[in-house]
């Protein structure tokens, strides 16, 4: 039986081998398309807007999503840093 670390290393090696044989963009295309579609659905679920406006709004929604993630990440880093300082670590 393999340890969790060994399983992780085996999976990583398999992923690298897969990416060495295939185009990485093609491997993830379906997932990226579905991710992008969520923003189109968010801004125009009935598809009533002109295409250019729908795409512009979807791009803004995407930017808002990633900006919110960045803010949450910065806040979490600050909390961790303050926690370490209060415990006497740097």
Whether the Cβ atoms of residue 39 and residue 65 lie closer than 8 Å to each other: yes
Q: Encode the chain (90 residues) as per-residue pLDDT tens digits.
A: 899 999 999 999 999 999 999 999 999 999 999 999 999 999 999 999 999 999 999 999 999 999 999 999 999 999 999 998 888 776
Residue 90: per-residue pLDDT: 62
Number of other residues whose CB lies within 10 A of the CB of residue 41: 13
Rounded to an integer, what distance in angstroms lies between the CA atom of residue 56 and that of residue 62? Answer: 10
Rounded to an integer, what distance in angstroms lies between the CA atom of residue 47 and that of residue 53? Answer: 11
Q: Model-level pTM? A: 0.71
Which residue matches tokens 């370490």? 84
């Amino acid at each position: 039986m393999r340890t969790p670390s060994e399983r992780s290393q085996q999976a990583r090696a398999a992923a690298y081998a897969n990416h060495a044989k295939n185009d990485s963009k093609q491997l993830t295309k379906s997932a990226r398309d579905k991710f992008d579609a969520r923003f189109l659905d968010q801004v125009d679920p009935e598809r009533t807007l002109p295409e250019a406006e729908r795409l512009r709004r979807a791009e803004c929604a995407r930017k808002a999503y990633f900006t919110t993630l960045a803010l949450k990440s910065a806040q979490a880093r600050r909390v961790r840093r303050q926690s370490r300082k209060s415990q006497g670590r740097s």
